[in-house]
Amino acid sequence: MKQSKANQAENLNAEEMEIIKSLLNYPSLEKVFDQTDLRKQPEMKQKMQFTIDDLERVIRRGTKDDAEKAARAVEAYKTVLGFLDELENMRQAQAE
């Protein structure tokens, strides 16, 4: 039998809930796509790069388990940064 979403949320520990909250709130992706304020994308990319730098410190100094998790997160952030670069290139091409 499938558990309901409410029951699944009850099974999460505090750390997992904090991770989910941080992913939903930081960085705020909807601001990247706001055409009225084009400064948001560079700010977002800078915050993400700072996060990558912090995660790379965890990879070097953390436990094996933490380092593995951080390495996966770094790859995810790099994928998103690559996607944002592609979007930026597309916007610039459309503007020309």
Give the residue carrying structure tokens 């558990």: 3
How far is Cα 37 from Cα 39, in angstroms, rounded to an integer?
5
Render each residue's pLDDT in the chain as its tens digit; 96 residues: 444 444 455 666 777 677 666 665 655 666 666 667 777 778 888 888 999 999 999 999 989 999 999 999 999 999 989 988 888 888 888 877
Q: What is the pTM of this model?
A: 0.63
Distances (CA, A) of 1 to 6, 14, 26, 67, 87: 14, 25, 34, 35, 42
Sequence spans of domains, the chain: 28-95
Dihedral of alpha carbons 15, 17, 20, 22, sign? negative
Both tokens of residue 71? 């390495």
